């Protein structure tokens, strides 16, 4: 399986994040990707393919240009105001407040363009996120050119980022950018399967009213789990997109049996859609040892996940999302990819 690695990921290196109103050590750190890189280099997966710059246009197909410009310049603005270290939002235009006027205040724009205070914005955030999107697009190119699959190793992750906001450690929505690029390259139906512990609210929202990108997600129930305000089972798409969104929320603490039951249901639904491309938002924070999540998967389950995905027999693009048990992420990602790669093409589908 060809691998595209975003070498610039470490430019996004936060020391701290807000968690329940306190500054704590950041969870989404460069070592996450370093461990995955080590595990993949020691495996027989690969080869590694260099990143190709596709420019800004494919990002602007999904994200508001004003949002991208803000993220690009935000840390410099923060520093010019005397800010030190990471920048965080602290005020948001909820409900009856206006979000159609962009305020001049930096603090106000931080709130306008974000959903939480848990996503530190650093000097290198834009570079890391921009090149992560480019690495994702490079991996997409491989699959569009006929590769059975490709994996993009990148951070920060993407699936919480909306068209015009960051949050949940995410700034540019790589799954959405690549799904749109695949549509623009002529693929008619694209499926995004999000197996990260957290609901991919950004990806869902971007495609909610569209039938051409089917979003399916298995995740911790938003009644108790981040992102709290989206990801319920009754969200099935709207307008022309009605029926093309599927959420499988599971209670925190769900068993592996419950997880695979939901997963197999999602695969049947996905298969019935007959997509021309599958994009997997591959978070491995479903791991039992994850410090901020509450499912129980382990190496054998990650391998089984990869095998089941292979049985769909679809061109498949894997994009790295969450996973915070730093030392175990490499092993878990490798198990998914090896499970997929070891399942022969031509084996019966689900
Ligand atoms: N400090 C992804 O997995 N904060 N994002 C949880 C822990 C939000 C996770 C509290 C978690 C976001 C891509
Ligand atoms: Zn997650």
- If one residue of 290, 321, 322 were mutated to test the ligand 1 pocket, choosing by the most ligand atoms within 8 A of its CB, it would be 322
Q: What is the per-residue DSSP string for 20-73?
A: TTEEEE-SS-HHHHHHHHHHHHTSS---EE------SHHHHTTS-HHHHHHHHH
Q: Judge whether residue 348 has pLDDT over 80.
A: no
What pLDDT band is residue 107 in, cutting at 50, 70 and 90?
very high
β-bridge mates for residue 269, sequence order: none
Q: How far is the CA of 264 from the centre of ligand 1 (A)?
A: 25
Residue 20 — very low, low, confident or very high, per pLDDT cuts 50/70/90?
A: confident
> What is the C-alpha to C-alpha distance for residues 280 and 283, in angstroms, rounded to an integer?
9
Give the H/E segment covering residue 18: strand 16-19
Condensed to tens digits (0 to 9), the pLDDT of residues 112-149 reads 999 999 999 999 999 999 999 999 999 999 999 999 99
In whole angstroms, give the CA distance from residue 310 to residue 349. Answer: 8
Cα–Cα distance measured from residue 222 to residue 236, given in angstroms and rounded to the nearest whole number: 15
pLDDT value of residue 347? 56
What is the C-alpha to C-alpha distance for residues 116 and 131, in angstroms, rounded to an integer?
Answer: 23
State if residue 195 touches ligand 1 by the CB under 6 angstroms criterion. no
3-state helix, strand, coil in the chain (%, to 5): 40, 15, 45
User: What is the rounded CA–CA span in Å between residue 181 and residue 169?
Assistant: 23
**What's the pLDDT score for residue 247?**
99
- Mark whether 294 is an active-site residue: no
pLDDT of residue 346: 62
pLDDT tens per residue, range 300-330:
999 999 999 999 999 999 999 999 999 999 9
Is residue 290 in contact with ligand 1, taking CB distance under 6 Å?
Answer: no
Residue 168 Cβ < 6 Å to ligand 1: yes
- Supply the pLDDT for residue 117: 96
pLDDT tens profile 154-182: 999 999 999 999 999 999 999 999 999 99
Burial class (CB in 10 A: 0-12, 13-18, 19+), 166: buried
212 in Cβ contact with 188 (< 8 Å):
yes
Reported as a single tens digit per residue, the pLDDT across 261-311 is 999 999 999 999 999 999 999 999 999 999 999 999 999 999 999 999 999
Q: Considering the candidates 63, 160, 219, 294, report the single residue annotated as catalytic.
A: 160
Best of 89, 161, 168 to mutate for ligand 1, by most ligand atoms within 8 A of CB? 168
Output the CA torsion sign for 188, 136, 4, 31: negative
User: What is the pLDDT confidence band of residue 344, given thresholds at 50, 70 and 90?
Assistant: confident
Q: For residue 103, how many C-alpha atoms fall within 13 Å in the half-sphere facing its CB?
A: 15
User: Are the CB atoms for 4 and 139 separated by under 8 Å?
Assistant: yes
- pLDDT over threshold 90, residue 186: yes
Tens digit of pLDDT for each residue in 198-236?
Answer: 999 999 999 999 999 999 999 999 999 999 999 999 999
Nearest ligand atom owner, CA of 321: 1
Ligand number nearest to the C-alpha of 16: 1
Say what the pLDDT of residue 146 is. Answer: 98
Ion ligand 2 neighbours, Cβ < 5 Å:
196-198, 283, 285, 322
Query: What whole-number distance in Å separates Cα of residue 88 and Cα of residue 324?
Result: 21
Rounded to a whole number of angstroms, the CA Rg of the chain reads: 19
pLDDT at site 60: 99
pLDDT of residue 21: 87
The two counts, helices (H) then strands (E), for the chain are 10, 10
Give the model confidence (pLDDT) of 38-73 as tens digits.
999 999 999 999 999 999 999 999 999 999 999 999
The two tokens of residue 339 are: 């499970």
Cα separation, 308 vs 300, in Å, equals 12
Mean pLDDT score, 74-95? 98
DSSP 77: H
């Amino acid at each position: 399986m060809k691998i595209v690695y975003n070498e610039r990921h470490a430019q996004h290196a936060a020391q701290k994040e807000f968690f329940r109103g306190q500054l704590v050590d950041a969870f989404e750190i460069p070592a996450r990707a370093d461990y995955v890189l080590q595990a993949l280099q020691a495996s027989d997966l690969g080869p590694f393919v260099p990143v190709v710059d596709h420019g800004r246009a494919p990002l602007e197909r999904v994200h508001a240009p004003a949002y991208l410009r803000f993220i690009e310049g935000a840390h410099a603005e923060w520093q010019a105001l005397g800010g030190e270290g990471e920048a965080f939002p602290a005020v948001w235009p909820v409900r009856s407040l206006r979000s159609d006027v962009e305020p001049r205040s930096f603090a106000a724009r931080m709130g306008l363009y974000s959903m939480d205070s848990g996503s530190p914005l650093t000097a290198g955030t834009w570079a890391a996120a921009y090149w992560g999107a480019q690495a994702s697009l490079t991996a997409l190119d491989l699959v569009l050119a006929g590769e059975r699959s490709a994996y993009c190793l990148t951070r920060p992750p993407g699936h919480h980022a909306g068209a015009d906001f960051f949050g949940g450690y995410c700034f540019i929505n790589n799954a959405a950018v690549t799904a749109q690029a695949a549509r623009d390259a002529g693929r008619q139906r694209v499926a995004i399967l999000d197996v990260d512990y957290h609901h991919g609210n950004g990806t869902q929202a971007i495609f909610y009213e569209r039938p051409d990108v089917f979003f399916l997600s298995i995740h911790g129930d938003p009644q108790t789990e981040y992102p709290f305000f989206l990801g319920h089972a009754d969200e099935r798409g709207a307008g022309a997109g009605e029926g093309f969104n599927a959420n499988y929320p599971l209670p925190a603490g769900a068993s592996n049996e419950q997880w695979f039951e939901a997963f197999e249901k999602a695969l049947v639904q996905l298969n019935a859609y007959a997509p021309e491309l599958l994009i997997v938002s591959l978070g491995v924070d479903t791991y039992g040892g994850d410090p901020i999540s509450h499912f129980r998967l382990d190496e054998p389950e990650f391998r089984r996940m990869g095998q089941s995905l292979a049985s769909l027999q679809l061109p498949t693009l894997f994009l790295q999302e969450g996973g915070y048990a730093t030392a175990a992420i490499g092993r878990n990602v490798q198990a998914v990819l090896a499970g997929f790669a070891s399942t022969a093409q031509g084996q019966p589908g689900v």
